[in-house]
Amino acid sequence: MTPTPTALLAMGPGIADRLLTPVQRARLTALVDTDPALVAHRLTGPTPEVARALAGAELLITCWGAPPLTADVLAAAPRLRAVVHAAGSVKHHITPACWERGLQVTSAAGANALPVAEYTLAAILLAGKNVLPAAHRYRELRVPHDWRAELAGHGNYRRCVGIVGASRIGRRVIELLRPFDLDVLLFDPYVDAGAAARLGAEKVGLDELCARSRIVSVHAPELPATRHLIGAAQLAAMADGATLINTSRGSLIDGDALLPELVSGRLNAVLDVTEPEVPSAGSPLYDLPNVLLTPHVAGSLGDEIHRLADFALEEVARYAQGLPFADPVTPQDLARMA
C-alpha cells in the first residue's frame, strides 16, 4: 500500500481561506496528510510549526503569494518532491533550484485561462457594437437620437478579430469565437498556417493583423522578446475606431505610444492590465470615455477560484496514486509561458 504523502500549503495571507471550500478542505485531508489550517506565508525564517511541516513535506500546494522556493528553502525540505500550484504562472516561486532538485511541478494555468477567455469574449462582442463609446455618448445626450445611423459602421457580422498569441487563453478565445460570424486572425511565431487553420484562424504577421483587425486582443506571455510587442507602428496600423484589448500583461503594449491614440479618441481600449500594474492617480486612462480600465480581474476571482482548487485537488489525487501530473510544467515550458 502506497504511504499517504505529507503536504504543506504555502501561499499569501488569506488566500487559502478563499481558495478552499469546506468540502474541498475535507477532500484535501482525505488525500494527503496535512493540516489545512497551517499555511506557510514565508519559508525563509519560518515559524517552528511551519519549519517542522516543511521538513516533512513531500508535496507543496501553492497559490498566489507563494514564497520563493530558493536553494535554502529546499535544503530545509529534504523530502520535497512536487509542487501543485493552484493558480497560473509559477515563475514567481519556482526557482532554478527546483529544477536542479528534479521537483515535479504542475499549474492550474489551464483552469485560470477559462475566466480570462470569457472576459475577453465579452469584451470583443461589446467592442464590436461600439458599446463603450456609445454608452458614454448616450449619457451625454440624454435625448432621442438616431443610434442606428451613428453606429452604422459597427456590429459583429464578418468583423475581423485579431488574436495575438496562441497561448492557452488565446486558443480558448478562438474556440469561444467559433459560434459567431467573425473572421479570426492569429499571430504567433510558434504556430504554422495549418495549425492556425485547425484552431479556426488565419495565420498572419503582426503588422497585417493590426491593419486588418477591427479588434485586437493580446494573449502572448510576458517575456523579454514580447516587451512592447504592440508598439507605435502596430498601433498606427490599426484602423480608426478599432479596439485594443489586453488581458495578458501590461508590458506587452507600449503605453507611451498607446496613450496619445486613446486621448485623441482614434482608438478604443479594454485594459485589464497596464504598466505599471496600477496607473498613477492622475492617469487619463481612468476618465477617457473610450477606455474600459479594470483592475486585473479577468482571471479567477470569487467562486471561480474554487475551479483552481478543484484542479489542484485532482493533481494531488494523481500524485497520491503514483500517477504523473495531468498538466505538468517543465523548464522548457517557461520560455513560452507567462
Residues labelled catalytic: 249, 277, 296
Cα distances (Å, whole numbers) of residue 96 to 8, 236, 282, 331, 336: 21, 40, 40, 9, 16
Say how many C-beta atoms besides its own lie within 10 A of residue 277's C-beta: 10
CA-angle at 67, arms to 66 and 72, nearest 5°: 145
Q: List Cβ neighbours of 268 (8 Å cut-off, separation of 6 or more).
A: 127, 130, 132, 133, 241, 242, 243, 244, 262, 290, 291
Reading the block at residue 138, the C-alpha cell is 448616450
Residue type, 33: D
Residue type, 318: R
Bond preceding residue 276 cis, omega within 30 of 0: yes
